Every structure is written in C-alpha cells, then in structure tokens.
Structure 1
Amino acid sequence: MLFDEKFEAWVYGPVLREIYYHTRDYGLFFNYFPSSEIKFRDNKIVEIKTSKKIIPDLKNETVCKLIDEALIDYSKLSAMLLVAEAHKSEYWIKARNGLDISLPSDRDIIIN
C-alpha cells in the first residue's frame, strides 16, 4: 500500500487529509525539483521523474512510472475537469452514498 492514511470522500473528490493540509499550507511547488526531473511545454508537464522524491521509500519502478504518468496526464486538466474525473470513481460514489453533492464528508473511501 502506498499510503497508511485512508482517502476521504470530500466534495470535490478523494482526499488524503495529510497531503491536503501540506499542500494547503506549503503548496506544491514543482519548480523546486531540478529541471532534469520535470519538463514543461506550454505551461504543462510533459515529463516528470518525481515520484521517488514525493515518496522516497517507493522502490517499485512500475508504480513510480504509473505515478509519474498520472501526474503528467492530470496536470493537463483544469480543476473542474479533475473534479469531474474524481466524481466518476465508484469508490468515491459509494462513500458519499446518500449525501448531497455539496455536503462535506470525512467518510473513508473503502477499496475492496
């Protein structure tokens, strides 16, 4: 498992609380990574090799590649498109079952 913490079914999509508070307080500054690890074209990430910096204990090369590819793909989407993608997750939908779309929730997302 990549994370000890459970994802929560927040209004705009799945959230890891610890990562949310870190990025809220400190931001996610890709420009802190050396240019050899992240490349931009037209203000979009086109190549990234940062998963090992974000998760230093990660040893599985396949998982590192998957994370890096996801960062590239999702960096191309606007905030609202990211929300729309998150709302398609069956696990997020199950966790929010019965809640109005605008109601906050800290329900755990359970993946069987």
Structure 2
Amino acid sequence: MARPDKRARQAIASTTDLYRVHVPLPWIRDLFGDASATAPYAGSAHAVLRRRVASLDLAPELVERLADDGNRAVGLLLAKRHQDAPADLLLRVALDGAGYLESR
C-alpha cells in the first residue's frame, strides 16, 4: 500500500479513544522501522501517529516534546516506555490512572 499524500492523510477521520487498539497501516509500519523518520511525526495532527512515535525508542528531545502532547495515550506510552520521561508527565499519568484528574 502506497503512502497517501498529505491532504489525503489529513482528511482521514480517526478516533482517539484511549483504550482502542490501533493497528498501523503497512506504510506506517515500514516508516517507523527507521529511527530517523520518527521526528516529523511527533508533531502530526493525528494522535494515532503520535502514539506510534511515543511507543518507540526516542531521543530525549522528542520525549520532552511529546510529554506536553495532551493526548492521554501518548503520555501513557511515554511514561511506560521511557525512563527519562519528565517527572510532571509521570505524575499526570499516575493521577489520571487513579481517577484524580478531570481531563476525561
């Protein structure tokens, strides 16, 4: 499957339910085999792509950038996968998981 152009990608509707499993399309799986290709997608408009980036081994500057993402699943994946995740992110994830945050 070929990668769609940028306009077509932005037109794709997607749900960002925290607990929904998203299986990446083949072009995404191929792309994320290359660590140097991940940085541009850390700022993607699609949370599914940002989630995928957050689940990979990342440079510290990408971890910092994604820590302020605002998407709960991105934060959860960062906290789970990265030992160098910022302390405030870890606190937000812990409080959110305990039900103390109102951002649901």
TM-score normalized by the length of structure 1: 0.30
Higher fraction of strand: 1
Higher fraction of helix: 2
Q: Which structure would you say has the larger Rg?
A: 1
